[in-house]
Amino acid sequence: RHDAASNRPFTAAVTAATASLIEAKVPIVAMINGFCIGGGMVIASACDIRICSEGSRFGVPAGKLGLGYELDNLARLQSIVGRGIAMEMLATARHFTAQEAMAAGFINRIVSPSTLEATIRELADQIAATAPMSFTAAKLASRAANDPTLNGEAQRAIDTCFDSEDFKEGRAAFHSRRTPNFVGK
């Protein structure tokens, strides 16, 4: 990338990649161990859950590179951390600590580097034990909160949950005090 014209195909590719994370029907978890700078922030911001190790660093170096931060990336970052923190990240280009990123709402949890992978695996197991259609509906509803054009699609996903075999199974398991066996239907 050396000018606006050569930046357009790059931006289109990044937008498509992040859209695939945002629009995925399954939960997307970012496991961050170390530096999450620039493109790392773009990818992490497109994930549903972000967990990092102690000592990780976060930043947007656009100001040190003289480039403009793309609108969709800024909107997503700002929706997570708020306008003030997003503007501070862009205006200073400084590295934020894991604790600062968590305080800003960018990170869900900070764990030790030695337990990061085990924490992510445990989280994945917990997610896998829940009804997949429920998360799909929740993810669509969350996106609809920022994009009202998705309201109808989100409501259909919610309605589908209530008409599903998984909802019947969840109720039966609750009444029987057993672990449900969800199948995604």
DSSP string, 37-86: ETHHHHHHHTSSEEEEETT-EEE-THHHHT-PPPHHHHHHHHHHH-HHHH
Whole-angstrom distance, CA of residue 94 vs CA of residue 96: 6
- Indicate whether 34 pLDDT > 90: yes
pLDDT digits (tens, 9 = 90+) for 13-27: 999 999 999 999 899
Percent of the chain with pLDDT over 90: 84
Of the candidates 20, 66, 61, which has an alpha carbon nearest to the alpha carbon of residue 43? 20
Residue 38 structure tokens: 């620039």
Query: In the structure, what pLDDT confidence band is assigned to residue 84 with cuts at 50, 70 and 90?
Result: very high
The pLDDT score that the predictor gives to residue 178 is 93
Mean of the per-residue pLDDT values for the chain?
Answer: 94
Query: In the structure, what pLDDT confidence band is assigned to residue 68 with cuts at 50, 70 and 90?
Result: confident
| Residue entry with tokens 């672990």 | 179
Provide mean pLDDT across the span 33-38.
Answer: 97
Whole-angstrom distance, CA of residue 105 vs CA of residue 10: 28
Percent of the chain with pLDDT over 70: 100
Of the candidates 23, 26, 56, which has an alpha carbon nearest to the alpha carbon of residue 41? 56
The pLDDT score that the predictor gives to residue 17 is 94
Query: In the structure, what pLDDT confidence band is assigned to residue 74 with cuts at 50, 70 and 90?
Result: very high
Give the DSSP H or E segment for 110. strand 109-111
Provide mean pLDDT across the span 109-117.
Answer: 98
Query: In the structure, what pLDDT confidence band is assigned to residue 88 with cuts at 50, 70 and 90?
Result: very high
- Indicate whether 1 pLDDT > 80: no
